[in-house]
Structure 1
Amino acid sequence: MNVLIIDDNQIDLLINQRVVKNLMPEAEIKSCISAIDALKYLEYLHINQEFEKLPDIILLDIRMPIMDGFEFLEKLNESPSLKLKIPKVLLVTSSIDPLDVQRSNEHPLVKGFIGKPLKMNALQEIINKLNF
């Protein structure tokens, strides 16, 4: 399983990596400090035909500078890699804004909304629902 973690906070990236690795020791994890870096990574995989490395799951922060999580999702919809493999996106956020929850529920790629800090039981529950 390939997991892409996108968060602008280094500490949250480390926490999320550790939680994923503890829950899924076999997972290949790639972390990006920005949504732009994540899009560049996906483009790199596509250009170099490394399709086997495309993510199965994306853990995505909502509130990030320059490009937020929802803007990333819109760009992801335009990505040619999406035609090859559709990832399950889990929003991992400290946002309590009801509009963020509503937007995430309405987006077809988003399969879950998890509060920060990421906890293993919350991720496990969603992973079980997604049949991974």
Structure 2
Amino acid sequence: MIDIDGIYVKLIKKVIETRKLCDNLLIFKNGKESIEYFEESLKDLSAAKVPDIIFIDLNMPIMDGWEFIENFTQIEHKFNKLITLYIVSSSIIPADINRAKSLSNIEDYLVKPIRASQLEQIFRRSA
């Protein structure tokens, strides 16, 4: 999960833990922090904790969601596994939604707040 909103992150974390949707939740506060993690993970893939799903907020400081996606797209193939990307944003601006839908590596654009049932469906699909 890449999101600056601490309250929202706590809420989603609680839902994921309560419903036992995943065993290992990684949380990053901006795109730069997460890209650095993924680049470091490439040095030793056997020890790396590389997620199956990434939830990306668009509006973050330092490196926003769009910049993260651009950078991640350049290294994603090196992980040799399917990593599903979801944009999760409070933005309902049609330009953002259309841009997200035009990107082949974005599974879906979800508007905050995500419902628990949506999370369950997403994790069930990736299992």
Counterpart pick for 1:41 among 37, 43, 64? 37
Structure 1 residue aligned with 2:88: 92
The residue matched to 1:28 in structure 2 has which SS?
coil
CA distance in 2, matches of 1:109, 1:73: 9
Structure 1 residues 54-97: Cα deviation after superposition (integer angstroms, max 9, x where no partner): 11000110111222111110000112x53222310111110010
The equivalences for 1:6-25 within 5 A come to: 6-25=2-21
Structure 1 residues 24-55: Cα deviation after superposition (integer angstroms, max 9, x where no partner): 44431110011111011111211133465211
Q: TM-score, normalised by structure 1?
A: 0.83
Stretches of structure 1 lacking an aligned partner (at least 5 in a row): none
Is 1:63 aligned with 2:25? Answer: no
Q: TM-score, normalised by structure 2?
A: 0.86
Residue 109 (structure 1) shift = 1.4
Residue type of the alignment partner of 1:37:
E
> Higher strand fraction: Structure 1 or Structure 2?
1
Paired residues, what number? 126
The equivalences for 1:82-121 within 5 A come to: 82-83=77-78, 84-121=80-117
CA distance in 2, matches of 1:23, 1:92: 20
Stretches of structure 2 lacking an aligned partner (at least 5 in a row): none
**Aligned residues with identical type, % of pairs:** 27
The verdict on how the C-alpha distance between 1:70 and 1:51 changes in structure 2, with shifts beyond 3 A counting, is farther
The verdict on how the C-alpha distance between 1:93 and 1:73 changes in structure 2, with shifts beyond 3 A counting, is same
CA distance in 1, matches of 2:69, 2:119: 20
Residue 101 (structure 1) shift = 0.8
CA distance in 2, matches of 1:59, 1:28: 14
CA distance in 1, matches of 2:46, 2:39: 10
Is 1:76 aligned with 2:80? Answer: no
